[in-house]
């Protein structure tokens, strides 16, 4: 991935705004630039837009929406911003946090009211770190539905989307103004496309094992569960252009991926009163701290394996998620009528599992914190039939990237901004800080959709004001 200083004699064609990547970030940027009346072209490596967006549960956090008000949920952007910053250990850029927390509600309502996205709030369990129920999702609670609706909306707006087009280089002068891009087709042929503003929406570096090993050593060798085409192109270009890269060790992990099936098991199974044990049948952590940091904790257990333990009541809540239904279909969810039978089916030491059960249920009854500092306040006791899933930890999404301002414009490592370069979603440094534990549920699609919308508008302004 290079930045070419030698400009071609002339670009084959050009567009005012070029967007690299057709995930949630790219499409939101494209729709908002198009609404501002500026032509935009989206370039996507794959033959069908999918990205990590399609692999996600498609849940976007937003505060103060009409969907929350219908359910009498009290929330505000200020409360949301405080939750983001608390989870990020105060490391996230305060101005960006304020901006995304403020704009998330209007972004959800924009997609709902202008484009007919049928959002609803996940109202039956709490996500770790969120002090209000504010995760908004589409009916299937799947990212496939989100990306397909975004693509259809962009198609209806007649926004040009060029598929099978890998952006292989940027063209920039010594002034670091981006003049255009080179794109490579699957048969190796190359083309060029000029632009006045460029939006990098080509996500993070989870698909580049060398970058993961360099920046996130604790996830070296871990399974990567995100889109394999996210190979760090944005950060490589940013680095070459002298852009500021931030929080490169930050990431979204997950401590509950069915093994060996490779299906996400929603953290609702834990938050509603379930728990995890290792292959010895023993608990090992405060699971409610967050699923992201739990990835490394699970991977540190013998064989990198844990078991989610819950019951049918919790499974009924988890079934709203397409992933969980898939896990049931593929036989990842084990059921048993007694703890002893469950231990037998999971091949776990029976007495240790019984002791773990007893410890959890006693904590619930006594309404106190357990030895790991976890409170099960409000959680009902587990009752038969019991359920369990063998899980492992995985890397979902990197959180570092190009540092941007509130307008999603890339910042220079020497201070100031790069004139016509924007970065959004996984291409930009998120709001999670430098640690896995800094990831608040939904930070990924938050910065994809909200920063995407902001960048589209900002790039359009830049172009209409004469660049």
Residues in contact with ligand FAD by the rule CB under 6 A: 20-26, 43-46, 49-53, 55-60, 166-167, 201-203, 225-227, 229-230, 233, 252, 264, 396-397, 425-426, 442, 444-446, 448
**Distinct helix (H) and strand (E) counts, the chain:** 15, 21
Of the pair 258, 360, the CB lying nearest ligand FAD is at 258
Which residues is 224 bridged to in the sheet? 395
Residue 139's contacts (CB-CB under 8 Å, 6 or more residues apart) are 118, 120, 145
- Give CA–CA dist 200/247, Å, rounded: 18
Shortest Cβ 323–ligand FAD spacing (Å): 8
Name the phi and psi angles at 224, rounded to 5: -105, 125
Check: CB of residue 275 under 8 Å from CB of residue 356. Answer: yes
- Give CA–CA dist 434/100, Å, rounded: 18
Name the phi and psi angles at 2, rounded to 5: -120, 160
Of the pair 25, 295, the CB lying nearest ligand FAD is at 25
Name the phi and psi angles at 355, rounded to 5: -65, -40
Of the pair 11, 225, the CB lying nearest ligand FAD is at 225
Of the pair 64, 425, the CB lying nearest ligand FAD is at 425
Of the pair 161, 339, the CB lying nearest ligand FAD is at 161
- Give CA–CA dist 257/224, Å, rounded: 11
Shortest Cβ 17–ligand FAD spacing (Å): 15
Please choose, from the candidates 235, 311, 326, the residue with its C-alpha nearest in 3D space to the C-alpha of residue 273: 311
Shortest Cβ 223–ligand FAD spacing (Å): 11
Shortest Cβ 449–ligand FAD spacing (Å): 8
Please choose, from the candidates 309, 289, 292, 313, the residue with its C-alpha nearest in 3D space to the C-alpha of residue 380: 313
Of the pair 60, 431, the CB lying nearest ligand FAD is at 60
Of the pair 22, 178, the CB lying nearest ligand FAD is at 22
Shortest Cβ 3–ligand FAD spacing (Å): 13
Of the pair 56, 392, the CB lying nearest ligand FAD is at 56
Shortest Cβ 256–ligand FAD spacing (Å): 11
Shortest Cβ 138–ligand FAD spacing (Å): 11
Structure tokens belonging to residue 161? 């989307």
Which residues is 246 bridged to in the sheet? 401
Shortest Cβ 313–ligand FAD spacing (Å): 23
Can you say how many angstroms the Cα of residue 65 is from the centroid of all Cα atoms in its chain?
Answer: 21
Question: Which one-letter DSSP state was computed for residue 273?
Answer: T
């Amino acid at each position: 991935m290079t930045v070419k200083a030698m400009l071609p004699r002339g670009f084959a064609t050009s567009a005012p705004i070029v967007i690299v990547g057709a995930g949630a970030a790219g499409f939101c940027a494209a729709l908002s630039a198009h609404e501002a009346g500026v032509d935009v072209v989206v370039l996507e490596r794959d033959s069908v837009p999918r990205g990590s967006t399609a692999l996600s549960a498609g849940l976007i956090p937003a505060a103060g929406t009409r969907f929350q008000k219908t359910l009498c949920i009290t929330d505000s952007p200020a409360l949301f911003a405080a939750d983001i910053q608390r989870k990020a250990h105060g490391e996230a850029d305060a101005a960006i946090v304020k901006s995304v927390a403020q704009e998330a509600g209007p972004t959800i309502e924009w997609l709902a009211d202008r484009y007919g996205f049928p959002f609803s709030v996940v109202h039956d369990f709490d996500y770790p770190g969120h002090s209000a129920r504010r995760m908004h999702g589409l009916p299937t609670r799947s990212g496939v539905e989100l990306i397909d609706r975004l693509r259809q909306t962009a198609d209806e707006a007649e926004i040009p989307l060029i598929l099978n087009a890998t952006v292989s280089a940027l063209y920039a002068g010594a002034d670091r103004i981006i003049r255009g891009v080179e794109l490579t087709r699957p048969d190796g042929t190359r083309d060029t496309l000029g632009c006045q503003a460029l939006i990098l929406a080509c996500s993070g570096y989870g698909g580049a094992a060398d970058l993961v090993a360099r920046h996130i050593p604790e996830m070296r060798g871990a399974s990567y569960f995100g889109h394999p085409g996210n190979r760090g192109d944005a950060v490589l270009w940013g680095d070459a252009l002298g852009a500021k890269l931030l929080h490169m060790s930050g990431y979204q992990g997950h401590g509950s991926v069915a093994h060996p099936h490779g299906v996400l098991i929603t953290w609702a199974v834990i938050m509603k009163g379930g728990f995890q044990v290792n292959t010895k049948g023993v608990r090992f952590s405060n699971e409610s701290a967050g699923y992201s940091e739990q990835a490394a904790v699970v991977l540190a257990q013998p064989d990198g394996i844990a078991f989610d333990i819950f019951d049918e009541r919790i499974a009924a809540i988890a079934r709203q998620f397409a992933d969980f239904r898939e896990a049931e279909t593929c036989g990842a969810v084990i059921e048993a009528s007694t703890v002893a039978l469950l231990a037998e089916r999971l091949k776990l030491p029976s007495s240790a599992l019984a002791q773990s059960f007893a410890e959890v249920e006693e904590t619930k009854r006594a309404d106190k914190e357990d030895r790991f500092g976890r409170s099960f306040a409000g959680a009902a006791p587990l009752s038969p039939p019991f359920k369990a899933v063998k899980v492992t930890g995985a890397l979902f999404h990197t959180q570092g990237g190009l540092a941007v301002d509130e307008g999603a414009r890339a910042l220079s490592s020497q201070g100031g901004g790069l004139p016509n370069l924007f970065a959004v979603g996984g291409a930009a440094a998120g709001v999670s800080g430098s640690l896995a534990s800094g990831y608040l549920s939904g930070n990924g699609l938050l910065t994809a959709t909200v920063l995407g919308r902001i960048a589209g508008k900002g790039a359009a302004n830049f172009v209409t004001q004469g660049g």
